[in-house]
Amino acid sequence: MTNEEILKWYEIACAFHTKRAPGLAIGVAMVDLCRTRLGPVKEKLNAISESPSCLCDVIQLMTGCTMGNRYVKAYRELGRFALTLYDRADGRGVRAYIDLDKISASETPELHKFFLRQRSDAVKAGGEERLKSGELVVEEFLKVRDKIIALQEVYIEKFGKSEMLPATRCKTCQESFLRRGAEEECASCSGELKYYRLA
């Protein structure tokens, strides 16, 4: 993929993501490299994002793997700027990550600060400074993209079509929920995952 094609996808991703984030442009290049290295798949392309941020949106836009069709998983607890595309039929995949040793603090200073989360307080605060920094990160990335993206051929430990969990009725709220074991209450009523309170 050329830099111009990356920038086209970047604009599409920014519209979907609803803000300009340099990680989107970097993710576009990562997805493209993984797809090229992986080649054709036997069954369905699936994906893993090791971060809940920009990468998930890029994966969904460029591959058709979505959270809704369950072809993409996000491992938030890893928190790494990395992704894997794989064949659901056999678990064969390609993982892309950023090789931090190949990012030069002198040649691409903003890109270096971006990946180490060391950008200035003014940039972290948002607004115009953040936008300028983000565009500089993209500009610097496009100069070194093939040098800093590392690829690994991998096999996914648990592959195949994900299990359809059985639904049951919560004994407390009476709503239907997907049961993972023998629980009788949904995660909200049990207190395991309470994210709201009634107004």
Q: Residue 165's closest CA among 178, 183, 181, 175?
A: 178
- Mean pLDDT for the chain? 93
- Output the pTM of the full model: 0.87
Residue type, 79: G
- Band the pLDDT of 181: cuts 50, 70, 90: confident
d(CA 34, CA 84): 7
Whether residue 197 is predicted with pLDDT greater than 80 in this model: the reply is no
State the CB neighbour count (10 A cutoff) for residue 18.
8
* Top-level class of domain 3-155: alpha beta
Which residue spans of the chain are classified as CATH 3.30.1330.130? 3-155
What is the percent of the chain where pLDDT is above 90?
Answer: 79
> What spatial distance separates the first Cα and last Cα of the chain, rounded to whole Å?
50
Who has greater pLDDT, 194 or 44? 44
Cα angle vertex 34, ends 15, 61, to 5°? 20
Coil, helix or strand for 130?
helix
CA distances from residue 157 to 2, 42, 92, 140, 174 in whole angstroms, order as listed: 33, 18, 10, 35, 36
d(CA 168, CA 178): 6
The 10s digit of each residue's pLDDT in 46-96 is 999 998 889 999 999 999 999 889 899 999 889 999 999 999 999 999 999
